[in-house]
Each structure stands twice: as structure tokens, then as C-alpha cells.
Amino acid sequence: MNVKNPNLVIIRSIHPTKFPDHFSLMWIDFDCDYFSQTIPVDVNYVGFYSESHDSMITHIGIVNEIEPYDNGKDYFLKAIVKLENPLEIDHPIKGYEYRELSNFNLTELELSILNNVTIPNEHIHIFLNAPPYLLKLN
């Protein structure tokens, strides 16, 4: 990975019914032909934007590996963190956009997890009240 800004988060819009697919596979794609956007930069974090009436970024994935292809990139994740305080977005996100980690109202525990994914799984589930399939550590 060639990450130039370690605090950059790429936000991807996902329909709520597709969340389980991305979570179970620990993967998210950025097909630029579909989005009509340029190929995204390498990042450490992927934010999941719910395409619903809530319009919030509810989860952040920690990138393990990025595989480029002709018109996009696949991001493989090592953990997905359900945010205690989802970030409300005041406009629709079509395709993707970027935010800094500092734009999120992250708890101390969430920051620890995002910066160091060696925290044991049982602590993550207890403190974030997330179902186990939402968080995995490799």
C-alpha cells in the first residue's frame, strides 16, 4: 500500500441491505466505471455511508490490503468498527469522497482500535455493543 495521508478515510456509499455482504467478506470495491470517478488513493481506513434516510457514516473499516484492477481497487479489511457516534452527512454521497479521521467524533476506545487493532475481540464487542459479525480481527 502506498498511503500518503495516514489519517485519510475514503467514504463509500452502500445500500443498507448490502452491509452484511461487505461485512462478512471484509471487502469493499471501488469500481470507477460504476462511480464515474477517478481511481481512489490508497488509504488506511474505509468509512461506510448508509444510503438511507439516516445518511450517516456508521462504520469504519481498517484496510489490510488493496488490490488495484483496470478501473478501480478492492480494499480488503482486517477489522470493521461500528461507531458509537455515527457521523451525519448533510448531502448524498454518490460513489465516494474523502474525510479526515479528525472529522469523526471518535471515542477514546475507537481511536485505540483504529490505531492499534491488537485489542482483544471481547473488549471491542462489550464496549461498542456490536454484533460479533460486524467486527473481526485477523
Give the model confidence (pLDDT) of 116-137 as tens digits.
755 454 444 433 444 433 444 4
pLDDT of the residue at 52: 65
Rounded CA-CA distance 120/21 in Å is: 24
pLDDT of the residue at 2: 87
Q: Name the residue with cell 481512489.
A: 40
Q: Which CATH number fits domain 8-134: 3.10.590, 2.40.128, 3.40.1350, 3.30.70?
A: 3.10.590
In the chain, where are the structural domains located?
Answer: 8-134
Give the model confidence (pLDDT) of 17-56 as tens digits.
877 777 778 888 887 776 667 878 889 999 988 766 678 8
The string of DSSP codes covering 38-86 is: PPPPP-SEEEEEE-STT-EEEEEEEEEEEEEETTEEEEEEEEEEEEEEE
